[in-house]
Each structure stands twice: as C-alpha cells, then as structure tokens.
Chains A and B, each alone.
Chain A
Amino acid sequence: MAPLNAIEVRNLRRIYRTTIGVIRRRVKEVVAVDDISFDVAPGELFGLLGPNGAGKTTMVKMLTTLLIPSAGTARVLGFDVVDQADPIRPRIGFIFGGERGLYWRLSAIDNLRYFASLYHVEPEIARKRIPYLLELVRLDGRGQEKVEGYSRGMKQRLHVARTLLHDPELLFLDEPTIGLDPIGARELRQVIRNLQSEKKTILLTTHYMFEADALCERIAVIDHGRIVALDTPEGLKRHVRDLSVIELEVYGIPPELLDVLRALEVVEAVTVENRDQKQAVLVQSPGGSEAVPEILAALSGLRVGKVIVREPTLEDAYVRLVGGEVEP
C-alpha cells in the first residue's frame, strides 16, 4: 500500500543538551524543533524557509534517520524514522549544504563509485548512471579530476549527483545553494528544477525567500523551531497585500527610535538594512503614504534622506513573519 503522503510530521520536537563550562558544568538546552507538524505529498517540492538557527537542518536530520527526535513522530514514505530507518535509507537521498562530505583526494568518479557501492547499486547500473549524472549536474568531462580542485559550486553539484546514484524517490536538500555565487546558485536551481520535472518528491530548505518562491509549490516558514506560516508562495504574499512598505534613508538611527516607530498604531513591522554609509529603515504599514507624516514626526530630530513608498515584495512577507515584532 503506497502511503498517502511522502512525509508526515506530527508534533516533532528536538532538544539539544550541551554542557558548558569545565569546572562548574551546567547543562544548556536548546529547543531546535518545537512541536512541528506538516505533510508533504508525493511529487511535491516543499520548502522549509527560515533564518539561520531556525531548526531547518535539525528537521532534515531527523527525517533522514540521522538524529533521534525528542518527541513526536515522523513518517517518511510510510516508515517511521526511528523504528524503520532501514527501509527508509535506500529510498531517500539527502544533501547538507556546503562543500564538505566528499572525499577530496578522490576524483568525482571515484567518489560516486564508492557511494554507489554503499547504496548497493549494481556495478553495471553504476557504470551507466555515473556519466549520466555527471552530465545532469554539468560536470561532464570533469569526472576524472580530483574533487579538491573543484569550485564550491562544482562540489555542491557533485553532491547532487551523489545523492541520485540509487535513484531515490524522495530528496532532502538542506540549503543546497549556500555559499554559492549567484551564477553557481542559479545553475544549481536549474538542476533542482530538472529533478522536479522527473517527479521526485523534494524537501528543500533555504533562508532565501526568493529561492523558495522560485522553486517551491508550498512553503513552511519556520522561526525558532516553530512553523509561523505554511502556504503557497502566492498565499504568503497575500499576508502582506494589505500593507505598503515605506523606505526611509537615514544616516545612523538609535535603537530607541526604532522602538518608538514600532509602537506606532500605523506600523506593523520595522527592519533596518545597511546601504553603504547610509541605512534604510523599512517600515511596513497599512496606511501607505498617508502614514508618512506620522512616521516622520516620530523621527523628528533625525536626519532623513529619501523617502519611498512601495508595494510589498515576498521578502517583506518573510520579514513580517520572522522579523520578530509581529505575531504570526
């Protein structure tokens, strides 16, 4: 019986305990994943979007059988991730972002051969599949080279080839584009799109809103280990459709003034971006340009440059969700 959902997560939690201090040892607890539930349908490209430390990697580790949950359950392809790790492993592939996790002193082909045998891929199949995968991730012609000479993007693409060796039906891609330059990231996203068209189920994590928007059919936004929104990209944008963004150019702003802004009735969220010598204060407000005088009045005494009122982007939706000031 095929499971209805590729992934089913129910009230999953993971607490890390670390001891700090050498002489007076104290136990410190971090709740990395805090009561998360969601489902991923077969063939879906599902995104977990959240800032650094949100709990994305912890989530992926539990779903890939590499970490035991502290509470709750997770089923992957119908199997329990704790009690039935054995049937899960040959059916899934996974990547943890970054360039580590390959044998740098070996060639790409040798790396793939070794992982093929770890995944019990028959040698005749591996012989055909390795060149095909190298081509898929645009490393054809470079397979004989040692991995240590590869660029970061090439290494991360080799990881994609590695995880496709055994033709898994479900893929976990944890920040696959992390640390790549824009071109490298775009190439990798193209590879991910190709996988999607091969009807693989994919769970992708990222901290780039635009990446989640460009690739995912549904996005769970997580922050501090909790899901703060779960919707399609369009649905997430609707969260901010009623708002405008007012950008104020300033030359240094004291934090107290930001709090004054946040306290205003017409203000939903405030963030600050550094731009060269200047900063931009981004204020989300339902009032649009009508709110500008009140905001400027609150900032009286501060030197303010250009003021722009614009439509919200998806990035603003994300800021509103994880910016910290607004309850979801």
Chain B
Amino acid sequence: MRSVTLNIRLFFQGALLSYVALFRWLSPMTYLASKVLMPLAQILFFSFLGMYATGQANASFYVIGNAIQLAAVSGIFGVTMSIGGDRWEGTLPYLFGTPANRMAMFVGRAFFHVLDGMVGVVLALMWGVLLLGLDLSHANPLALGLTILVATFSTSGMGLLLGCISLITLNVMFINNTVYFSLLVFSGANVPLSTLPAWMQSVAWALPLTRSIAAARQIIAGGSLAEVAPLLWMEVLIGAIYILAGYFLFRWFERQAKLRGTLDIF
C-alpha cells in the first residue's frame, strides 16, 4: 500500500516538475503564443489549401483534422523534450541510481502534456468556429471531450517512445519533426485515408491520431459516443502499446548503459 502511494506521488511530482521546467523555459508569453498562434497558423494553412483544392464545403474536414492533430505538439514535442532533457542535463546517472519505480518515473513525465495537449486542441477548435465556420452544435460534448483526451493520450504514448529513442540517438528534433509531418499525412488530417495507397493506410492505422480524427469527424457530424466507441478503445490500446514499448526501451537503455558504461556518453 505504501509503495502505491509512493509511486503515485512520484508520478505527480515528476509530472509537475517536467511541466514547471517547460514553463520556465518558455516565458508565459511565448507559451501562450505557441498555444494560440501556432495552431491558428496550421489550421489556416491546411484549411485554405484544402478548400482551394477540393472546395469550400470541405472546410470542416481540415479544421477538425488539424485541430486533433495539434495534440501531437504537446504529445510528441513536449514529452520527448521532457525525457530527452535528462540526457542534456546529465541527470540520467542520478535518476538510475535512485530506487524509484521506473514506470512511475517514466510515465509521470507525460501526464501534464496530456492536459496541455487537450487545451491546445480545444483552442484550435475555437479558431475553427470563429474563423472557418466550424459548426459544433451537433457534437455530443462528452464524446468530443473523450476523443480529445484519447487523442492526446495516444500521441503522448508515442512521445514517450520517441523520448526514449532520443536517449539513444543524436538528433531528437529531426526525429520529432519527421514524425510530426508524417502524421499530417498518415493520420488522415489532411487527406482522406481512402485516397492513400494500401501500404500507407496500413501504417496509418498503426499510428495514433488516425482513429481520433475519424471519431471527431463523426461526432461533430452528429454521431453518438456508442458509434465511435470502438475507434476510441482501439486508440487507447494503441497509446498503451506505445507507452509499453517506450517503457521497455527505457529499461533496455538502462541495462545497456550499465553493461557498456555509456550512461553519460550518449
């Protein structure tokens, strides 16, 4: 029992501190700008491009797709920076020397980025309502909220895995950017999945976001929670698989570092 409370505490402490660190790195103004302006730029860019290519009537397709996709900003960039930051700061030997539960230590880092990602998605949807005529009147608020939560959860799971990869390889930003831009296509945010070649569709269904975006489009068109539930459950499962893969990679990294003496060389 004591160990459960200890680990819950460690989880939240890690969550809180990784978030405090983020805020002290970005000034409040920069943070706000990144939360408000960057989503606006992405939504405008892809929505107008999409409308130019396929017609005015399709605005909501792009607005919803990109708004949900924005969960990946916190989920991927935020979480990877939080984990990769330990390599920068040289804190890994000190972390690995503690008796702390590695799962609580590892997953705690993602927690606040999930909340932060949700805020980002909501703000992005608001831009859609204000500027691009997005109509949320048919959406079930609970279902939409759950979809946003699930989307940020699964992208944060992927962020944890990428964060671990960043412990091993050199260029975090390169990997993050590549993944982010790949998701723009593969998640179906900006192209209907059915227009993609078969192999790309297979990849798309193995990635986070794809199902959340599909679910969000259905909900905003008036679909019920029950209709999208299968999509959401699979999305949760995908997120969990990424977290577990990240966790095992993290443990593998710790073992290799102890064997090869590479803890502070990477």
The chain A residues found within 8 Å of chain B, CB to CB, are 14, 16-17, 58, 61, 64-68, 86, 89-90, 94, 96, 98, 100-106, 110, 113-115, 117-120, 123, 146, 162
Contacts and interface: CB of A to CB of B under 8 A. Distances in A.
B1 interface: no
Interface stretch (B10-18, B31-39, B162-170): B10-18
B21 interface: yes
A123 B9 contact: yes
A58 B98 CA distance: 18
Interface in B67-96: 85, 89-91, 93-96
A96 B93 contact: yes
B183 interface: no
Contacts of A89: 97-99
A90 B175 CA distance: 36
Contacts of A104: 89
A100 B88 CA distance: 9
Given A16-B261, A118-B105, A106 B20 contact: yes
Given A101-B90, A102-B91, A120 B96 contact: no
A44 B259 CA distance: 30
Interface residues of B, number: 29
Contact of A114 (B14, B85, B97): B14
Contacts of A94: 97
Contacts of B99: 86, 89-90, 118-120
A115 B94 CA distance: 9
Contacts of A14: 261
Contacts of A17: 260
Contacts of A66: 93, 96-97, 258, 263
B100 A119 contact: yes
7 contacts: A100-B91, A101-B89, A110-B20, A117-B14, A118-B100, A119-B100, A120-B6
A118 B98 CA distance: 6
Interface string B85-124: 1000111011111111000010000000000000000000
Contacts of B25: 105
Contacts of A123: 9
Contacts of B6: 120
B97 A64 contact: yes
B20 A117 contact: no
A64 B97 CA distance: 7
A106 B21 contact: yes
Nearest to A99: B90
**Residue in A14, A89, A103, A115 with the greatest tally of chain B CB atoms within 10 Å:** A103
A199 B108 CA distance: 36
A253 B94 CA distance: 46
Contact of B17 (A100, A110, A146): A110
A135 B97 CA distance: 25
Nearest to B258: A68
Contacts of B89: 100-104
Contacts of B85: 103
Given A58-B261, A90-B99, A105-B25, 8 more contacts: A66-B263, A101-B89, A101-B91, A103-B85, A113-B13, A113-B17, A114-B14, A117-B10
